[in-house]
Amino acid sequence: MRINLHKHFALFLFLIVSAILFPKCKTENIPDELPNILWLTSEDNSPFLGCYGDEFATTPNLDKLASEGFLYTHAYANAPVCAPTRNTILTGVYACSGGNEHMRSRYPKSDLVKTYPEYLRELGYYCTNNSKTDYNIGNFDDKSVWDECNNKAHYKNRKDGQPFFAVFNTTISHESCIHKSIPSEELRHSPDEVPIPPHHPATKEMKHDWAQYYDKVEDMDAQIGKWLKELEEAGLAENTIVFYYGDHGGVLARSKRYVYESGTRVPFIVRIPEKYKYLFPEKKVGSRVDRLISFVDLVPTLLSITGIEIPEYLQGSAFLGKQKTADPEYAFMFRGRMDERYDMSRAVRDQKYRYIRNYMPYRVYGQHLEYLWRAPSIVSWEKAYLNGECNEIQSIFWETKPVEELYDTENDPWEVNNLAKDKNYADVLERMRAANKEWVTRIYDTGFLPEADRVERVGNESIYDYMRSGKVNLEEIMNAAEIATLGEVSNLETLKNYLQSEESAVRYWGASGMLILGEKANAEKETLKNTLKDKSASVVSVAAEALYNLGEKEIAKTALLSVLKNPNEFARCYALNVIDCIDEKSPEIIEGVIDMIENAESNTRNKYDMRAAKWLIDKWGLDPDEYPVDFAW
């Protein structure tokens, strides 16, 4: 048979050029046998496990897993709530860098950012997800990146000899598990014996919810045990690396949604078979690993384990495999809008301290949030506070926030003693403040642009791409935010100049600075009044709140009523937040909110403006049945 050398050379050349122009994924040092990888995840639980030293917990299966693997003592979710956390896990990019930090905001993902199942499938893995997605991405089919993604998805469906990556997720410990109380006599953990953190009052409902939650953690542990047993019975344990982690902290008030240890620290255990001993993070099985890790590290770690070269755009560090990095000095966390409530915080954690920067310090921690308030415990906490039954520590949750918080987590694990103003910790404060600023700048943190403005400015472009396009001076915006939130009257002239900026986000921070100054900004009333003509609804709402607090109530109300007619759902939601926080319930405001309800488009994406309006209707004692709006989640 004659061989056409020219034809074969042309084909060879074509394949080489194609590989260069259309690369799938670069690989290096691929293991001789790719390990199977099993992720077992639970929702809304901090490390309330026996293996983490919690003597009240009943978690035999996870305790056993820890004895067979490696327990990470400093593992963190980068966000204290599910959707932004899962976005970060999926992409290896902080959700506040990709533009997806707001709860269920579903903005587009950049085409430059790949998901980890795509990398693994290109390498030959059979990837299944059973079955939680909730990735907070708009232009994206959540199931499209998986071979299987449903409640029947299973690694057993792969081809013979094919390596698998499988996720099994349990919702047993989810926040909703305490919404309906179980009779006390049916609980396995006693409400009278359950440990109560110092920031919680020991109300009957609080003790009951804590005890019920420990029951649910025990149930979750039992489900993890079933999945591990299934792996053993399939004869796959010796070929499978098992990861277990909680998706963020929880679940009682001041944990989930808050960038404290209680909201971000998670249980994290890795069991590695003997045949992959080269991956051991410590010499001895059963060891504790003190390295700081967070969920942004998961994608690079998967790539490192499987021999895929880690691309530069990923923002975490591999903590296993041949591309493992030196231990990082910090882990970083963020908080944006939680459902219908706006707030903004960033946090930095090192081995000992936690630093928190609150960019909306004029808001109380305990803003009313419909889903959170379904738990009897927080209702009882609020009632105890209003009745004057809370001590100083328990009362903080219902008060406005300091700009900065600093905690010694080794000696103050519940983070109730703020050291930010203690001169003995000035060096720590300055170091961690600088780390936060460096981080938000390096990752192009999109949270510094008000959400309503982002929607109007970016359109259908991904915010990740927009922030890197040169269309926005991020350093200018972040400097404005840092200065404005300090609340120093010496910066008043600077804030006034911010209000003249061509950049709407700088104007927003200028108005925020004057709101934070309160009476100290009284000399700039006229400047704030002129700001009510701003093209940005976000700027108008902040300036209106500042003016209202300075006694200019009528002009402030008129401005807020104008924002309620804005076609932007998030502009309306922000204005409704302001109306609630200033506790304004004049007839014209009530009429304006009702008019908004009756005239808003029925197909708004998440109806967060409707949810904020529903709370006002309830708060004002009006009959919600009179208003034809579907308020259901």
Positions annotated as catalytic residues are: 82
The CA-CA-CA angle for residues 54, 56, 61, to 5°, reads 70
CA distance 396 to 402: 10
Consecutive H or E run containing 269: strand 268-271
CA distance 452 to 313: 27
- Report helix, strand or coil for 630: coil
Consecutive H or E run containing 42: strand 36-42
Contacts of 59 by beta carbon, 8 Å cutoff, 6+ apart:
48, 49, 50, 51, 217, 218, 221
Which is it for the CA torsion 520, 521, 524, 529, positive or negative? Answer: negative
CA distance 593 to 576: 8
- Report helix, strand or coil for 216: helix
Q: How many CA atoms lie within 13 A of 176 on its CB side?
A: 4
CA distance 298 to 68: 21
The CA-CA-CA angle for residues 244, 246, 250, to 5°, reads 160
Amino acid at 434: A
CA distance 25 to 564: 48
CA distance 159 to 201: 55
Q: How many CA atoms lie within 13 A of 256 on its CB side?
A: 28
Amino acid at 155: Y
For 489-548, give the DSSP string.
GGGHHHHHHHTT-SSHHHHHHHHHHHHHHGGGGGGGHHHHHHHTT-S-HHHHHHHHHHHH
CA distance 186 to 275: 45
